[in-house]
Structure 1
Amino acid sequence: MGKRIQIQELIAISKSGEVLQSHVKEWRGQTWHVSRGKTEGNRVERMAVHITNLANEASIAHATRGSDPESVLVTRLILNEFSLYTKDSPLSLSEYKLFIKKIYAVTSTLPPDIHLLLATVPVLWSDHSVHNCALYIQSPLAIGGQPTIHHFAKEHASTADFRYTMKKRV
């Protein structure tokens, strides 16, 4: 018989990332609409630093919990919906790829059995639709290994989702 699995969950709650700091948001019905504006520089770097800090906290919590030789401890850090939403515009595909690359580097150094559920990031797809993207990352199975990253995307927004809209030209 295999080892018993214990799951330690860490939940990091953020009301809605940076999106509510936007100066071009408007409440319409049940949804915030954000007019796509100029993007701020270094936002991918800011997001990566934020995830690095959270991953470090997960690693500390994982080590602090101690080990039971009869079981495997999985520490799972979960971010709530919209917690990585950007201020005035969704990430471009190239920014999203860079973000994933940075997250890959961070999670490559984590000890085994740490999982991160990063939810959610707005990404402007090549067809000009905004996808609500989440990443589920599993740290390497062994030190020196590679993390596993799963990408999930939702194209059709619900009535509660934030919307990024194009600015009207006058």
Structure 2
Amino acid sequence: MSTSFNAVAVVPVSPTRKRAEAWLETLASYSPAVGRTDRGLSELVITFPAKDMSQAVTTGWRLLLSAAGALEPGSFRVLPTDDYDREVEAVDLAPLPSLASVSEAAEIIGVSRQRVQQLIDAGQLRAVKAGSTWAVPRLEVEQIADARAAGTTVDG
């Protein structure tokens, strides 16, 4: 009998757009999610079947290593999906900030979409990937636009 498990790995690098897309593609069969931890590191989460915890640990480790390549996870944990779901539901999440797409951010800042992508890739603008779309905090975009208008930054 097979049970569903989740493996969560923190990889000690920033989740650039290119890196996140590669991980999502490699792990597409395992309902992957890629995010940024509060320390700016990459977090990968996958869901997969296994007959027991021992097999889940081995399978999860191999799958995540296949995606991360030479980047060995700094932390790794596996738990049954029911436990993972309860843990996620128990987190007291703050309301989501207002988000902007890359195109909207470019328009607000007054730069090209490519420049916004560069800011994301360089870690100068936080972003999350939702499906095939990147979303950035609107407040940060507005701060960059304000600073750019005041001539106090070269980020935009």
The TM-score normalised by the length of structure 2 is 0.26
| Structure with greater strand share of residues | 1
| Structure with greater helix share of residues | 2
The TM-score normalised by the length of structure 1 is 0.24
